[in-house]
């Protein structure tokens, strides 16, 4: 349902009447300039084996970004971060439209089969969006926004499933820098979890069924990422 | 997701890559709304501007954590927290009611050329029931989707859709009445 255009225009004029001064962004510009001056280049991870044909190793330079490990198991690490596709595409190259489980499942049955449970569970609801390439119409990635009611409360999850070959959306770059890793059904899941604003916020990345899965979870439960993976993929 | 949310999402990615112009664009698209939100909380122009300046700094610092999705919601949440933190630091408590979000015309520094139309809008919104004002706040102030409003209020999507349509129709009638009165 779209907003009423007449009311939206009136409201925009209403807000613009506050006359937000351009100087309001000056302190932020100084912070940005300072950040650009002190930004360090990527370094090879110390002590790790490198194979440029297959793996890009990244050292995290932002202190405090990486929180505690999820679940009861100690994280395993094979010394590598996930390999990012070489090319990047931007939001400007994409069209976005609402979609549904059936349409997406028809395109990529295996990749979307885990989310069928969102259609059948009485404790979950989901919205689907398809991001397609403007030029070719190809589905680059799908976004699933899910709410799942658990015994700990409401879990909000956003799962993006990317199919673009050899390229990744610029917004996903941060996931390729995740360092914590654990085994999941034979795959590596790269993840990070931290406590923020009275909730546990986790993000994770893994590859399966020919797709790249990017997951963001906000929940009262600190094991929400583990639980979500079990919920969708039926295994831990 | 609205066009505004998608545009701001794109700007946040550009900001993370160091594009200073993205800040100017965010100000152009959402600066009025950010200042409106801060004014509603702080009730003081100087404090509201301080809060928005702080919000922009925090947006720069947090842009790397933005994973896509509702860029507008990301920016407004940071602004809200900045305004609330400022009040706390001044030993003041935030006491905000729904009418505070629609009292901008009486705030210091409001555009004199737009005061009349702002007053007409405020008077029309003022005549809505509290529930209607809240729906207008969620939908047009905070750019929430029908689904998000349903989740927030605990009502069904179809109910929210019906209620929104009814509220928008009522508001437009009230605005038309208000326009006639000014003549």
CATH number of the CATH domain containing B70: 1.10.1740.10
Based on the fold, state whether residues B119 and B178 are members of the same structural domain: yes
When divided into structural domains, chain B yields a total of 2
Q: At a CB cut-off of 8 Å and minimum separation 6, what does A76 contact?
A: A181, A182, A183
Residue A85 has what pLDDT? 83
pLDDT tens, residue by residue, B1-39 = 677 888 898 899 888 888 889 999 999 999 999 999 999
**The token pair that represents B182 in the structure block:** 């000014």
**The token pair that represents B180 in the structure block:** 């006639």
pLDDT tens, residue by residue, A123-163 = 888 889 999 888 888 899 999 998 888 766 778 899 999 99
CB neighbour class for A16 (10 Å; exposed up to 12, middle 13-18, buried from 19): middle
| Shortest CA gap A55–chain B (Å) | 22
Based on the fold, state whether residues B90 and B108 are members of the same structural domain: no
Residue A44 has what pLDDT? 33
- Considering only CA atoms, which of B144, B140, B142 is closest in space to residue B168? B140
Give the residue from chain A lying closest to B62, CA to CA: A65
Contact B172, A7 (CB under 8 A): yes
Q: Closest CB to A18: pick one of B24, B39, B172.
A: B39
pLDDT tens, residue by residue, A68-127 = 333 334 344 444 566 778 788 888 888 888 898 988 998 888 899 889 888 888 888 888
Q: Closest CB to B140: pick one of A8, A27, A90.
A: A8
| Shortest CA gap B154–chain A (Å) | 12
Residue B96 has what pLDDT? 80
β-bridge mates for residue A95, sequence order? A132
Based on the fold, state whether residues B81 and B169 are members of the same structural domain: no
Q: Tell me: pLDDT of A61 over 60.
A: no
Q: Closest CB to A3: pick one of B20, B107, B139.
A: B139
Euclidean distance between CA atoms A25 and B53, whole angstroms: 6
Residue A146 sits at φ, ψ, to 5 deg, of -120, 145
Kindly determine whether residue A18 and residue B161, on different chains, have CB atoms separated by under 8 Å. Answer: no
Chain A neighbors of B159, CB-CB under 8 A: none
Domain boundary among B96, B124, B145: B96
Based on the fold, state whether residues B76 and B115 are members of the same structural domain: no
Based on the fold, state whether residues B136 and B76 are members of the same structural domain: no
Whole-number percent of chain A with pLDDT over 90: 20
Of residues A224 and B133, the one with the higher pLDDT is: B133
Based on the fold, state whether residues B85 and B122 are members of the same structural domain: no
Based on the fold, state whether residues B15 and B30 are members of the same structural domain: yes
**The token pair that represents B60 in the structure block:** 């720069």
Chain B neighbors of A168, CB-CB under 8 A: none
Q: Which domain holds residue B169?
A: 97-183
Residue B164 is part of a domain; what is its CATH number? 1.20.140.160
Q: Do the bridges between strand A87-89 and strand A167-169 make them parallel or antiparallel, or are there none, so unpaired? A: parallel
Based on the fold, state whether residues B135 and B57 are members of the same structural domain: no
Based on the fold, state whether residues B2 and B40 are members of the same structural domain: yes
Q: Report angle CA B120, B40, B149 to the nearest 5 degrees.
A: 85
**The token pair that represents A105 in the structure block:** 């499942």
Residue B134 has what pLDDT? 94
**How many A/B residue pairs have CB atoms within 8 Å?**
142
Domain boundary among B70, B96, B122: B96
Based on the fold, state whether residues B107 and B67 are members of the same structural domain: no
Residue A38 has what pLDDT? 60
Residue B167 has what pLDDT? 96
Based on the fold, state whether residues B135 and B120 are members of the same structural domain: yes
Domain boundary among B96, B125, B150: B96
Whole-number percent of chain B with pLDDT over 70: 97
Q: Tell me: pLDDT of B173 over 80.
A: yes
Interface test with B, best of A24, A90, A140, A156 (most B CBs within 10 A): A24
Q: Closest CB to A13: pick one of B15, B114, B147.
A: B114
Based on the fold, state whether residues B77 and B104 are members of the same structural domain: no
pTM: 0.56
């Amino acid at each position: 349902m779209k907003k009423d255009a007449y009311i939206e225009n009136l409201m925009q004029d209403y807000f613009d009447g506050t006359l937000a001064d351009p100087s309001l962004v000056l302190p932020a510009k100084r912070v940005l300039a300072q950040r650009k001056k002190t930004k360090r280049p990527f370094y090879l991870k110390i002590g790790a084996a490198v194979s440029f044909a297959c793996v890009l190793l990244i050292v995290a330079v932002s202190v405090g970004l990486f929180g505690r490990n999820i679940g009861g198991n100690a994280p395993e690490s094979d010394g590598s971060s996930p390999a990012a596709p070489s090319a990047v595409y931007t939001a400007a190259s994409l069209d976005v439209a609402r979609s549904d489980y059936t349409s997406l499942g028809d395109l990529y049955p295996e990749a979307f089969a885990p989310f069928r449970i969102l259609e059948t569970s009485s404790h979950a609801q989901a919205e689907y969006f398809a991001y397609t390439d403007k030029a070719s119409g190809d589905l680059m990635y799908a976004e699933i926004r899910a709410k799942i009611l658990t015994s700990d409360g409401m879990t909000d999850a956003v799962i993006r499933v990317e199919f673009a070959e050899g390229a990744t959306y610029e917004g996903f770059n941060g996931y390729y820098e995740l360092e914590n890793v654990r085994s999941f059904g034979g795959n590596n899941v790269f993840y990070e979890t931290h406590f923020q604003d009275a909730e546990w916020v986790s993000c994770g990345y893994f590859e399966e069924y020919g797709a790249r899965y990017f997951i963001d979870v906000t929940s009262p439960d600190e094991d929400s990422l583990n639980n979500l993976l079990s919920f969708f993929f039926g295994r831990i | 997701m609205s066009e505004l949310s998608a545009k701001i999402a794109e700007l946040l990615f550009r900001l993370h890559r160091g594009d200073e112009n993205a800040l100017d664009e965010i100000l152009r698209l959402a600066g009025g709304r950010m200042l409106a939100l801060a004014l509603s909380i702080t009730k003081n122009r100087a404090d509201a501007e301080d809060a928005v300046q702080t919000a922009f700094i925090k947006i720069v610092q947090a842009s790397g954590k933005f994973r896509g999705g509702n860029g507008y919601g990301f920016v407004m949440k940071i602004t809200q927290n900045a305004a609330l933190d400022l009040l706390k630091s001044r030993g003041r408590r935030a006491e905000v009611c729904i009418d505070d979000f629609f009292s901008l015309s009486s705030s210091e520094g409001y555009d004199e050329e737009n005061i009349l139309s702002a007053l007409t809008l405020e008077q029309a919104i003022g005549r809505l029931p509290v529930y209607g004002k809240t729906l207008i706040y969620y939908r047009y102030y905070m750019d929430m989707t029908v689904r998000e409003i349903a989740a927030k209020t605990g009502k069904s999507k179809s109910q929210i859709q019906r209620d929104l349509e009814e509220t928008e129709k009522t508001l437009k009638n009230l605005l038309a009445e208000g326009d006639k009165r000014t003549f």
